[in-house]
Structure 1
Amino acid sequence: MDQKIKSVFDLQQKYKFELRKTDSKTRIAKLKKLKQALESAEEEIYVALDKDLRKSKFETAVTELFFTYAEIDHAIKKLSGWMKPKSVGKTMSNLFAGNKIYYEPKGVCLIIAPWNYPLQLIMSPLISAIAAGNCAILKPSELSNSTASVIHKIISNTFEEREIACFEGDAETSTSLLKLPFDHIFFTGSTAIGKIVMEAAAKNLTSVTLELGGKSPAIIDDSCDLKKAAEKIAWGKLVNAGQTCIAPDYVLIDEKLEKEFVSHFTVAADKMFFNYGKINDEVFGKIISEKQFNRLDGLIKKAVIEGAILEFGGETNPESLTINPVVLTSVSAENSIMQEEIFGPVLPIIKYKNLQNAIDFVNSKDKPLALYIFSDSAKNQEKIINETSSGGTCVNDVLVHISNPNLPFGGVNSSGIGSSHGIFGFKNFSHERAVVFQSKFGMTKMIYPPYNLGLLKWLKKLM
């Protein structure tokens, strides 16, 4: 495998110099080709995601396919404008010069994708890489192996290896890839693995984009529509069985509202994901692996031992890798379940006495990938936004910020580095190159030796 990887990498290193010359028309044709390949493989994709995560056809269409198609369409529409050199302002040192920013491809890029949205989270950065004129090597997750096989087939049938290639395999394959001096690495996954990727990239001074995760909070005050908030959080928390990097990880709620919220949440969860009191596995997904199932099961049990109250759910089925939705109250900051990203259908609820307590709690932890505010008070909304930091934020909704390609998507510090989607993804896979076209009337000669000290006062005023 190592030899094959190196062979493809070398091919792409040679071809990147040809690829960088391509115009928007050529790149748009490639994006259209990718979309057609995905459309032709739709049924295979539905079957694969059902096998890997028990995703319903509807959920796969909305969260994987339609999302990807929309991103391709957006790139096709905007690419010509993105690629044009941008004129910028001048200074006295280049008053008569032309000053522009050129967007050049980074070169050969590595895209390592996770298992939770295995199609969307490999195709989204690939779209940006193609738009920016790069070669790319893809590494889908081995945990979602059915989808990985379909992705490999799509890429192999659509592109030459010297431009885009896909390698299936386990952590050893990723390790082999990370040894190579890529021009850019785009990784989506856990913070712990993100650190490993960044360390490997540093050895080759390779730039990185890290889409990580963390404990994304939902803050609820007493001015919001509590029923609507509970419905939205129930959907955002439980879609894909909670295996979503921007899922609400826990709730911070005004202490007066806790009981009512729990009631609304359980009603909403029952309506969306249960059928006559039993989990509806036609709409509710499964946990990806036995290892993850055991981790989540252990977290729930340990949380209860440490004092949390199981308000709702908790039934598990190890044979089908199903964990029913769980709501926990009386959760303390020290509880084990508050020490790591849950990444499953478990919602801890923490009460606060005043809004500042909630803000201080969020700020006591690493900066999250997402933060959700449920409030009809503009004053409270602004207070939370101004006094916290997160990769992205939604006010009175969850998850939807990821769907707008006009917004940057990414984390901050431990939740990620860099942004993706739309022009932000295009720039992420591009080098912004400064170019000055000096005129015949350049003024730099004024500062050549021998120095004229009499010019200093005049130059100071000019600057």
Structure 2
Amino acid sequence: MREVPAMSSVFDAMRAASRHDQTPSWEIRADRLRRLRRLVHANQEAIATAISDDFTNRPRQETALLETFPSIAGINDALRHGKRWMRVRRARTGLWFKPGRSRLMPQPLGVIGIVVPWNYPLFLTVGPLAGALVAGNRAMIKLSEYTPRFSALFAQLVQATFAPDEVAIINGDAEVASTFTALPFDHLLFTGSTSVGHHVMRAAAANLTPVTLELGGKSPAIVGPGAEFDHAVERILVGKLLNAGQTCIAPDYVLVPEAQRDRFVESARRCVNRLYPGLAHNPDYTSIISPRHFGRLVSMIEAAGAAGARVVPLTDAAPDADARRLPPVLLMDVPDDAMAMQEEIFGPVLPVVTYRTVGEAIAFVNARPRPLALYVFDKGAEVVDRVMRQTVAGGVTVNDTLFHIAQDDLPFGGVGPSGMGAYHGEAGFETFSKLKPVFHQAGLNGAGLLKPPYGKRFESMLKLLLR
């Protein structure tokens, strides 16, 4: 395969360049970030068109809101704070080792590998890339074969903007991705499914490459007994239906008080009709990325219905396989062993689970793998605080959905099966850096007393240390 030697050559050149310029100055890092910002800003329309073509339809407004805006905001945050993040940091020194002093020296790791999924190809490229660049690294990026138009365009733009040993784009199929993840990167960041994450981690383990895994899972939304109900329904549906549910932190199922079950269905129908009137031909509604993904979602709905779930369409529109347009549906009374309750859905399908007490809702969440995101809606601090204390999730938005991912000062990452490690803002800088611990010994110090032969003086010193 011709891509393999080329990929290895690119990696070797990057590694040599990173070792030659081990700690780039702030001026070099800022220049790279500004070039990346210009690339995104100057080509945003072409990028949005390419992404829309890859999906068959995705509104440019959605790409602007969910990809271009957070990409530029993340770069601006790195430019605003990166010089401060680079500074050597003081660290406390133990009493017995004074007047010595301790420091933490941030240094680039070297060459970062980034594997990008198809659902948000711009943001999930630029976000980690900005973190890698502000930390002083070089980066190789494997883009998804499911977004061929975006991938080809972005490769051209990067080639015109960066030197080959600064940033490089690798395109190709799953075999190329497998070869890519087997390279001995200094750090590898993968965003994608949990199942593929297993393969990525195994490949990285062969080189002892540290990994950040941004996976998915079944992110719950809890509508509390004191929630502003219709508002909660709308925000859950907005978070679910942006990008037609093809979002790793989209609400994957909703927990509703038992008495509010029918009201949820009615409110959801009204909400979808407000958001996407005439959905069958509404240009604001995104298509499913591929025939395979469309077929998987249809099979999931049919399997749930066959297992006894009630399938509740939220519009009168019918599924359109040619346009890969799948109208949103609720799944009521879904058996726990159904695919819709076992796998991440990644589409406009929302199971509704009822509960009698908040404790029951919390127990339902905790009986499942730790989610990437969790959403809780309630006007009372007591319910919100209880959910926060008694559940574990990668990130949380209270009384809304999705917005925690847009906060540059909050680390973004999963926990357990939904991922490991985090990035965004300073957390990204630290993920792609080595905070090198340094101890400076003072000219006048007592270290000379702590050496053989271990006589009475040593024993006296040891007694002081062990008090």
TM-score bracket for this pair, using the shorter chain length: over 0.9
Distance 1:19 1:263, change over 3 A: farther
In 2, distance between residues paired with 1:369 and 1:461? Answer: 48
1:247 CA drift (Å): 0.1
Q: Which moved more, 1:213-222 or 1:329-338?
A: 329-338
Contact 1:38 1:154 in 2 (8 A): no
1:453 CA drift (Å): 4.1
Q: 2:437 aligns with which of 413, 434, 455?
A: 434
Contact 1:93 1:444 in 2 (8 A): no
Q: Which moved more, 1:432-441 or 1:78-87?
A: 432-441
Contact 2:451 2:458 in 1 (8 A): no
What's the TM-score once normalised by structure 1's chain length? 0.97
In 2, distance between residues paired with 1:453 and 1:198? Answer: 53
- Residue 227 of structure 2 is matched in structure 1 by 224
- Residue 83 of structure 2 is matched in structure 1 by 80
Residue 122 of structure 2 is aligned to residue 114 of structure 1: no
Structure 2: gaps of 5 or more residues: none
Residue identity opposite 2:199 in structure 1:
I
Residue identity opposite 2:67 in structure 1:
E
Q: 1:147 aligns with which of 147, 150, 169?
A: 150
- Residue 366 of structure 1 is matched in structure 2 by 369
Q: Deviations over 1:249-269 (max 9, x none)?
A: 000111011111121111111
Q: Which runs of 4+ in 1 moved over 6 A?
A: none
Q: 2:26 aligns with which of 1, 7, 24?
A: 24
- Residue 11 of structure 1 is matched in structure 2 by 13
Residue identity opposite 1:238 in structure 2:
L
Q: Deviations over 1:162-201 (max 9, x none)?
A: 1211111111111111222111101000001111100110
Residue 331 of structure 2 is aligned to residue 331 of structure 1: no
Residue identity opposite 2:52 in structure 1:
D
Residue 352 of structure 2 is aligned to residue 349 of structure 1: yes
Q: Which moved more, 1:222-231 or 1:434-443?
A: 434-443
How do 1:21-420 residues align onto structure 2 when only pairs under 5 Å count?
21-53=23-55, 54-275=57-278, 278-313=279-314, 315-420=318-423
RMSD of aligned residue pairs (Cα, Å)? 1.4
Residue identity opposite 2:418 in structure 1:
S
1:315 CA drift (Å): 2.6
In 2, distance between residues paired with 1:339 and 1:21? Answer: 46
Q: Which moved more, 1:179-188 or 1:278-287?
A: 278-287
1:458 CA drift (Å): 5.3
Contact 2:23 2:108 in 1 (8 A): no
Residue identity opposite 1:226 in structure 2:
F
1:331 CA drift (Å): 1.9
Per the alignment, in what secondary structure is the counterpart of residue 210 of structure 1? strand
In 1, distance between residues paired with 2:368 and 2:453? Answer: 58
Q: Percent identity at matched positions?
A: 38
Q: Deviations over 1:289-336 (max 9, x none)?
A: 000000000000110111111222483110001100111111232222
Aligned length: 461
In 1, distance between residues paired with 2:416 and 2:454? Answer: 47
Per the alignment, in what secondary structure is the counterpart of residue 366 of structure 1? coil
Distance 1:202 1:93, change over 3 A: farther
In 2, distance between residues paired with 1:59 and 1:301? Answer: 29
Structure 1: gaps of 5 or more residues: none
Per the alignment, in what secondary structure is the counterpart of residue 323 of structure 1? coil
1:55 CA drift (Å): 1.7
Q: Which moved more, 1:237-246 or 1:28-37?
A: 28-37
Per the alignment, in what secondary structure is the counterpart of residue 212 of structure 2? strand
